[in-house]
């Protein structure tokens, strides 16, 4: 051990080993970071897809509600304007014969 060259060679080997271990450590850190990044990216993608599905579902429900309101308004208007005396409907229950007179199927009674 008194030879300074042997000591220098030992130091060079030690430095090489440390550099190798440091490279392995850095590689492991990069792998972990990439895995975490991939997991976060996947989670964000899934969250965006879910949000888009929820938004599409809400839009569909709003359209269905709007159509239901239109249908209800149309039915109410039809009830007000297409039934009663001014509607021209001539059928109905005939108390003298105790039958229902259907103007759309004359001669057919219940």
Task: Give pTM, 2 decimals.
Answer: 0.46
- Read off the pLDDT of each residue in 8-13 and give the average, rounded to a whole number: 72
- Ordered by start, the domain boundaries in the chain are 4-85
CA 87 to chain centre: 47
Backbone angles phi, psi at 101, to 5 degrees: -95, 115
Express as a percent the part of the chain with pLDDT over 90.
Answer: 47
Q: What is the DSSP string of 41-74?
A: HHHHHHHHHHHHHHHHHHHHHHHHHHHHHHHHHH
Give 83 or 19, the one with higher predicted confidence: 19
84: pLDDT confidence band, cut at 50, 70 and 90?
A: low
Q: What stretch of H or E contains 17?
A: helix 4-82
56: pLDDT confidence band, cut at 50, 70 and 90?
A: very high
pLDDT in tens, 12-42: 778 888 888 999 999 999 999 999 999 999 9
Pick the closest to residue 23 from 13, 15, 11 (CA basis): 15
């Amino acid at each position: 051990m008194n030879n300074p060259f042997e000591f220098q060679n030992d130091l060079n080997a030690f430095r090489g080993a440390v550099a190798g271990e440091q490279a392995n450590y850095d590689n492991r850190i990069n792998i972990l970071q990439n895995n975490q990044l991939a997991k976060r990216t996947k989670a964000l993608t899934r969250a965006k897809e879910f949000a888009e599905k929820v938004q599409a579902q809400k839009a569909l429900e709003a359209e269905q509600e709007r159509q239901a309101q239109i249908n209800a308004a149309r039915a109410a208007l039809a009830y007000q304007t297409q039934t009663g005396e001014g509607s021209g409907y001539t059928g109905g229950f005939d108390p003298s014969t105790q039958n229902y007179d259907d103007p759309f199927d004359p001669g057919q009674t219940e």
